[in-house]
Chain A
């Protein structure tokens, strides 16, 4: 029996280009409680959601200068949940008045064999860390308050040590390209958190 003839062209591209709008800030450990209370009041009315994730950053070094970076993340609290693979592009160099960091974002859910596949493809793990904290949402906005810890023995997520005495606060929205009202909403939300934490656009290139 022959396979039926393919009469439809395979779908190439056509996926919506999603952009990630990001604002970051940090709080010291002592001020964490007040920040969590404020977020609980401002964000959607749900039970606070804790998370513990293990993220591995893979690099593919090509002939050109810039290596290709992929982030693979799995949940430590929910082991059966699928892995999450993420590609983040370069931040868009729009006008300086753009209030949030905008970059191209591709999100993929993957099964549990992801590290092996990436290794086979030629990626090498650059570094890994464990992030623990709480997750809030307000409509489409996601606020992640996380403590990053260094993994001392590669592969062993039990043995970690915190990287700093503070928590990283990230406000992010996933939206299709071209929506500028998103950054306005993000900025007004960040204003409400103002004295506790200052969320601002942090260019990753300047940190290197």
Chain B
């Protein structure tokens, strides 16, 4: 033992139990031993209750079965159904045998160790040169091996970082693709070579504007991976044609005609940008703005083409980005295309900034609608040819040849009104309507008696609106409601329908409407007296809407009425004119007149009850807040109490 290197001998007990699990750190878990009840159950399972207890008949079979079931008795739980071994000491015998084996081995090892007769314990031989190497070599070899190990680790780490970077790249790549998918869901895209082009024009919606409207989709690669990705970063960028950059709108406005035509074509007012909807991408905003610019250009091109081609009485002027026309004398309608590229911010300092609400937004909206209507018409199925080999043209125009239409019929089939004419008509109507409203409102505010009320209808047409004008006296609305006018405001004229059935057509002149309303107001007063007389019991002696006597009115005609009291003693005469105002005279019975000379002819006392001379009433000094009230008081005063 001494001198020879030590040999390590390991002894461990034989495994009685099975290894259930070997964990990652080498620890073995054994299956727990069976408890008493489990053991009993296991033994009971081995008993085959179906078999008879006769041993003689199945002797040899049993023996063979025994021999064959012995070697697998230990692991035999699954096969127990076969034939339980009738040898109950089987497991005991096996255990004893295995322990005998182990003991013999131990004995052998100990004898080898002690006697060294036929066998010795020889340790595993070591490399003899290891101990002789100097320390430097050892160091070097250790260094080399460490270096190899380090290299392996570094290579592995490199691979890991590369895969992480690739993942990030892929994620960005996927972002670009998902953005592209979103873009494609809203805009038309196609691939040409290795470029992705898109179409933002209205051509597929029926427009015939020759602009191509192509935009290009480019990948946004100017991103530094080290820095933090900005919030509004988008991996996709669109490049729109340079002439569609910025934003544009069409400005329609009506102004008094400017005396000089020097400064035309320089209208470039710009209003603030529309707020972007949250969540919409930058490319979407850019594309929408470019599409709007294209549409505005198309509208303006169509308008200017029509302005030049269509012959009208007063020619339209087209200067740079503005079209000027004259709907009414003294009035100027200007349609201009305001396009700002968004770079120069100092163009807001424009001289006519004083009227910001000059812009008729309704007409701008209508222009957009009209051009879209025009687009839709080119796409209607009326144009499709039947039979299919015929060229595209309007269905009814194709009949022109076979049915031998003449020029008048053909021109009636063609589009009658262009965009410009339509928009001028609409502008005229809007202007006429606003002026009518202004006239009525100014009269209403200026004149308190009688009152004028205007009820505008909610539902109007682009070319026609209507308003109902009532002239009433305050406090007597139920009695005096004979003047009710329905005004239908058209493009150039106003049609008035009176309650009594008369229809009058007024021109666009503001003065005509005003004069007409004033004359109606004066007539109202006289009508009111008539209605009041009915209520008060007075009798109407005479009534005339248009009196031919007295001073001539410059506006309309004067009206007059004479009413007599219930007992006939008094009479009131009223003459009312738009300009001359009202004149009220009261006729007294002769008995009350002092200056009447006594006559010999008329001697009977009863003749003094007749009405005689007239006396004018100082109407201005009468009590009462309006004419009808004063009249009522007067009538009441002249009616004696019974």
Contact = CB atoms under 8 A, between A and B. Distances in A.
B583 interface: no
Contacts of B203: 139
A47 B389 contact: no
Pick from A75, A82, A112 the residue with the most CB of B within 10 Å: A82
Contacts of B401: 82, 108-110
B206 A137 contact: no
Interface of A is mostly: strand
B384 A74 contact: no
A71 B389 contact: yes
Contacts of B391: 107, 174
A78 B386 contact: yes
A46 B204 CA distance: 10
B456 interface: no
A109 B387 contact: no
Interface residues of A, number: 37
Given A44-B206, A45-B204, A78-B386, A142 B392 contact: yes
A192 B381 contact: no
B410 interface: no
A135 B379 CA distance: 13
Contact of B403 (A55, A108, A111): A111
A107 B389 CA distance: 9
Nearest to B401: A109
Interface string A103-133: 0000111111000000000000000000101
Interface string A46-84: 110101010100000000000000010111011001111
Chain B contact patch, size range: 20 to 34
Interface string B382-395: 01111111111001
B379 A46 contact: yes
A114 to B, nearest CB: 9
Contacts of A82: 398-399, 401-402
Contacts of A131: 388
B190 interface: yes
A131 B383 CA distance: 20
Given A82-B399, A82-B401, A51 B386 contact: yes
B380 to A, nearest CB: 8
B387 A75 contact: yes
B205 interface: yes
Contacts of B386: 51, 53, 75, 77-78, 81
Contact of A47 (B381, B383, B395, B400): B381
Interface string B197-227: 0000001111010000000000000000000
A81 B392 contact: no
Contacts of A24: none
Pick from A83, A137, A140 the residue with the most CB of B within 10 Å: A137
Contacts of B387: 51, 53, 55, 73-75, 81, 83-84
Nearest to B403: A111
Contacts of A75: 386-388
Interface string A25-55: 0000000000000000000111101010101
A171 interface: no
A137 B399 contact: no
Nearest to B395: A81
Contacts of A44: 204, 206, 379
Contacts of A201: none
A53 B190 contact: no
A192 B206 contact: no
Contact of A110 (B379, B380, B383, B402): B402
B399 A109 contact: yes
A81 B398 contact: yes
B389 A111 contact: no
Interface of B: 190, 203-206, 208, 379-381, 383-392, 395, 398-403
Shortest Cβ-Cβ A-B pairs, 8 listed: A111-B402, A75-B386, A73-B387, A53-B387, A109-B401, A84-B390, A78-B386, A82-B402
Given A44-B379, A55-B387, 18 more contacts: A45-B379, A51-B386, A51-B388, A53-B389, A55-B389, A73-B389, A75-B386, A77-B386, A81-B395, A82-B399, A84-B389, A107-B389, A108-B401, A110-B402, A111-B403, A112-B402, A135-B384, A144-B389
